[in-house]
Amino acid sequence: MSSALTNLTIGDCRSLIEKREVTALSLAEEYYAHIENQDARIGAFLTLSKERALQQADRTDRMAVEGQLLPPLAGVPVAIKDVMSTRGVRTTAGSKSLATYIPAYDCTAVARLEAAGAVILGKTNCDEFAMGSSNENSAFGPVRNPRDRSRVPGGSSGGSAAAVAADMAVAALGSDTGGSIRQPASFCGVIGLMPTYGRVSRYGLIAFASSLDHIGPLTKTVKDAATILKTIAGRDPLDSTSADVRVPDYVAELEQPLGALKLGVAQEYFGEGLDDEVRHAVESAIDRLKSLGCEIVPLSLPHTAYAIPTYYIIATAEAASNLARYDGARYSFRAAGVKSLSEMYRRSRDQGFGAEVKRRIMLGTYALSAGYYEAYYLKAQKVRTLLARDFQEAFRKVDAIVTPTSPTAAFRLGEKSDDPLAMYLADIYTVTADLAGIPGISVPCGETQQKLPIGFQILGKHFDESTVLRIAHAYEQASQTAS
């Protein structure tokens, strides 16, 4: 069970420490005690960074005692998905190939969190190299959904979502390549925000698909997501794809009235395969937004049907290229007893990678191979452009688009493990935003009869996270008032 001190928001933590009603050190210890008590049954964490966390907490306490102005995340216990480099702390990407890898540098997003006072509790479990929709592909075992431990937490940021949902962290960072922040947020009943591609630096993020990877927060409230995004967003000279675009004060803009915002509802997201309970919950959320003054506009995103095949060509092609570096020669796992260089490469990769990673490398290598490049990869890039244009056309008519996050609530562990296509279709409502590079957020909007969380998704224009967050916040506040 959670204690009062492990059921806090970012604002709660900072206020308690500022008033010296609790120390950052005691707060961190409380969270570690809760992790020790809970995580054996959930499997959210792979590595704890207790020494680093307590040193940071002690710095915060000294600032509080001296009456210094505390930074925005002072003493806030945060978890980090294990695909982000952390100096001196093991970083595995959920893979045997990196089981002993300890980076010499921090991911930019992690460094910015810590500079803002956050206490990094540890690294969370994930699908190997972020490849998966269920968090069953980790070399270190699956993560279980805190709401029902017989079910998946979603993937690939399942450990981060589960840590927040189980009160083992106030907030967490995840990564999203095809839905890996938003889908686990939906399955675990928390907030999951994917910013615009380029809004947050990817420096220090272990690459899966470089043109699709995003870093973003998983939190308990929309305000906390806005606070984290404000901290980690912005141009980074270490990442050439990070955008030199002004970062608004997302928290201040939350309270601006919605006015008569136009929200699009695309027919392609409410068709065959959508669970009836999910449909009802999302439609109820749309009705609530309408009652808050939003205008609901039916629209079409005609190329949506091509999103999954397009995504799984581009993502696997980029993965095959990015994962070529894990060859046993440098920092990754090396097979024992090899007698030649080619044998070392072959056996190290065979033993170091799991089945799903191997599948995607093979698919990607095939799509890039001579004679097939134009038929698959080049064609997929052209369809990606059509998907992006669908959104550009839609955003000429509406301010944001509302969809389900996932076609179902959390499914059972092992239910889709032997059916890769069924697993890939779990991302059917999320991959389009990654392909288009637009921001999206998943917000809890109800439960199934089995008490499993349901989330709905708000998609926005490039670099317009403010509007996405404002709509999500208004819905969240109205839902709390109604309950």
- Say if residues 304 and 432 touch (Cβ distance below 8 Å): yes
391 HSE (CA, 13 A, CB side): 25
314 touches 388 (CB < 8 A): no
- Active-site residue, selected from the candidate residues 49, 85, 138, 156: 156
Can the peptide bond before residue 201 be classed as cis, meaning omega within 30 degrees of 0?
A: no
Neighbours of 467 (CB within 10 A): 18
Closest CA to 110 of 87, 90, 92: 87
DSSP annotation of 237 reads T
Q: How far apart are CA 306 and CA 379, in angstroms?
A: 11
State the burial class of residue 149 (Cβ atoms within 10 Å of its Cβ: 0-12, 13-18, 19+).
middle
Per the CB < 8 A criterion, the answer to whether 301 and 398 are in contact is no
> Is 138 a known active-site residue?
no
Question: Could you give the 3-state DSSP secondary structure of residue 148?
Answer: strand
Enumerate residues 6+ apart whose C-beta is below 8 A from 160.
44, 79, 80, 81, 124, 126, 169, 172, 173, 174, 181, 184, 218
Question: Where do we find the tokens 């980076």?
Answer: 103
Question: Read out DSSP for 360-374?
Answer: HHHHHHHHHSTTTII
Q: What share of the chain is helix, strand, coil (3-state, %, to 5)?
A: 45, 15, 40
Catalytic residue among 49, 81, 123, 134: 81
DSSP labels for 273-325?
Answer: T--HHHHHHHHHHHHHHHHTTPEEEEE--TTGGGHHHHHHHHHHHHHHHHGGG
The C-alpha atoms of residue 131 and residue 102 are separated, in whole angstroms, by: 21
Taking Cα atoms as reference points, which of 21, 227, 5 lies closest to residue 117? 227
Catalytic residue among 85, 175, 180, 332: 180
Residue 175 contacts by C-beta under 8 Å, 6 or more apart in sequence?
A: 81, 83, 84, 130, 156, 157, 181, 205, 208, 213, 214, 215, 216
- Chain mean position to CA 90: 20
Q: Which residues of 408-425 are buried (b: 16+ CB within 10 A; e: fewer)?
A: bbbbebebbbeeeeebbb
Is residue 207 a contact partner of residue 324, using CB atoms and an 8 Å limit? Answer: no
81 is catalytic: yes
Task: Determine the Cα–Cα distance for residues 362 and 104; give it in Å rounded to an integer.
Answer: 31
Q: How many helices (H) and strands (E) does the chain have?
A: 16, 11
Give CA–CA dist 411/452, Å, rounded.
10
Catalytic residues: 81, 156, 180
